[in-house]
Structure 1
Amino acid sequence: MDKLDVKLWTLAAKGQIVPDRSLLKTPEQIKAIQESADLNTAVLDHVAAHIRKGMSTEEIDRLVYDYTTQHGGIPAPLNYQGFPKSVCTSVNNVICHGIPDENEILKEGDIINVDVSTILNGYYSDASRMFTIGQISPEAEKLVRVTKECVELGLKAAKPWGHLGDIAYAINTHARQNGFSVVEDIGGHGIGLEFHEDPYVSYVTPKGSEMVLVPGMMFTIEPMINEGSPEFYIDEGNGWTVYTIDDGLSAQIEYMVLITENGVEVMTK
């Protein structure tokens, strides 16, 4: 039993939730996952350079598919548990898992989350950005801005040997202080060797709770911040798209992070 095993065993004996060693990435795995993450960032940059008023969300899907495959990658969402497209495009009142559609045209005042996930040489990466189309309302601007602040505060709260709940507390507190709500039943996830790994990452749990943040852990920080109620419903027709229950706006920004001995490292955003 090495020093890390002893430390994990000691924490577990005190009632702390600790990750299985299989969740701690090796230096070799981290290097390979970072290559996937670099491509993921490049895909998002490619979308940022082309997204515009008047384009369809289907066009965004083609941008993502073409760029990813031309650079040796595979879009992770494509055919994942039956998802039909290469990217999630969530506009205005869509919380997440929006499906690109040739009939969905971006218009002045829209806000859209583009969620890109990439497989490269068998390794996974995942991040999303909010884009604003033309002049948006002051309310939409505040929501997008506060969502970005929430993610940055969550990142700042992520410290080795702290807890996932520290991240959640920072995010939930800031969102509520600004009059917004955090979606409770959809969260982040571990990633790297699979698309979705443990741990589940909540954004509404108390400070000091949940899994201990051990160096080598890799997961997403991706809170979904709603203008109104945190409640939602899922489109019965496609079984994927998640909408706000009150038709209010929703925003989400996703970073993929690695806990290190000295802090936290953003792999793609």
Structure 2
Amino acid sequence: MITIKSEREIDGMRESGAILAGMHRGLRDIIKPGISSWEIEEFARKYYADHDAIAEQIGFEGYQYATCVCVNDEVAHAEPRKDLILKEGDLVKVDTVVNKDGYMSDSCWTYAVGEVSAEAKKLMDVTKKALYLGIDQAVVGNRIGDIGAAIQKYTEEENGYGDVRDLIGHGIQPTMHEAPNVPNYGEAGKGLRLKAGMTITIEPMINTGTWRIGVKEVPNEDWQYYVSQDGSLSAQYEHTLAITNDGPKILTSQDPEFDAKYL
């Protein structure tokens, strides 16, 4: 069931989104060569506690961490690890869901560790632009397929990258994962029609190689995460947004000047 949110509910989500965005901004100073991915987890937990918020994914299907931290070919859902030390040139994706007073927001961001290759920088730029091309299509009267088609055309047809199919965006609020599904690929003019009051995530996961992904099991834990099937680099950017009669409104903006048209 798709729930249509009131202005009060969207304002609550915007408050949680501001906390999430602040955490991501803080990671810009934390992520550097020599730290472990576990230090990202520690930073997020403390930031949320300091802002009277919680990480919603702790306890979700047995997951016990505030963040998912993926490095290089890891696409999604990898755990933060004390023995995973970041090195110069790595790409790190940090995905997290914040709950503030019952209102949720979800955002993933890709970070360069030190100086990265031209290939990695281009992947980051293309993936981030793909997110905003998808957001541009998230207007009242458009269809879900318009979002995915814009992302797929730019990433695959124009740049030759792999647009991951198996992991997609989704509705959010009052729980972490709600209807509708929001694929990062699709056909324009197809799918559910967007209505004011819907709140969704758009989250392209883009590989420099194939769009296909593989699964890795976490030793001694009932958990698995995803990697690019061919070992190619992967990037992800994600915002939570509200569909409104005034256009899409980003609820997890880290940069108000950059996102001014969406606020």
1:49-87 deviations in Å (ceiling 9; x for gaps): 222111100000000001101211111121211112110
Amino acid at match of 2:127: T
- In structure 2, the residue matched to 1:94 is 74
Give the share of equivalent positions with the same residue, in percent: 33
5+ residue gaps, structure 2: 254-263
1:113-165 deviations in Å (ceiling 9; x for gaps): 11121011111111111100111111111111100110111111221111111
Q: Could you tell me which of 163, 187, 191 is aligned with 2:143?
A: 163
Distance 2:29 2:180 in 1: 33
- In structure 1, the residue matched to 2:42 is 62
Q: Could you tell me which of 12, 18, 35 is aligned with 1:38?
A: 18
1:80-114 deviations in Å (ceiling 9; x for gaps): 11112110111100001111001001100001111
Q: Could you tell me which of 18, 23, 28 is aligned with 2:3?
A: 23
Check whether the contact 1:44–1:116 (CA below 8 A) recurs between aligned residues: no
Secondary structure, aligned partner of 2:246: coil
TM-score (norm 2): 0.92
5+ residue gaps, structure 1: 1-19
- In structure 1, the residue matched to 2:256 is none
1:256 Cα deviation (Å)? 0.7
Check whether the contact 2:147–2:185 (CA below 8 A) recurs between aligned residues: no
Secondary structure, aligned partner of 2:235: strand
Distance 2:99 2:119 in 1: 36
Amino acid at match of 1:222: E
Q: Could you tell me which of 231, 238, 252 is aligned with 1:254?
A: 238
The reply to whether residue 219 of structure 1 matches residue 200 of structure 2 is yes
- Runs of 4+ deviating beyond 6 Å: none
Report the number of matched residues.
Answer: 249
Distance 2:10 2:109 in 1: 23
Q: CA RMSD in A?
A: 1.1
TM-score (norm 1): 0.90
Check whether the contact 2:162–2:212 (CA below 8 A) recurs between aligned residues: no
- In structure 1, the residue matched to 2:252 is 268
Distance 1:210 1:185 in 2: 17
Q: Could you tell me which of 203, 228, 232 is aligned with 2:209?
A: 228
Q: How does 1:59-138 map to 2 (within 5 A)?
A: 59-138=39-118
1:192 Cα deviation (Å)? 2.2
Distance 1:64 1:185 in 2: 27
The reply to whether residue 190 of structure 1 matches residue 171 of structure 2 is yes
The reply to whether residue 241 of structure 1 matches residue 225 of structure 2 is yes
Check whether the contact 2:139–2:248 (CA below 8 A) recurs between aligned residues: yes
Query: Rg larger in 1 or in 2?
Result: 1
Distance 1:175 1:44 in 2: 24
Distance 1:256 1:31 in 2: 13
Check whether the contact 2:69–2:95 (CA below 8 A) recurs between aligned residues: yes
Check whether the contact 1:180–1:228 (CA below 8 A) recurs between aligned residues: yes
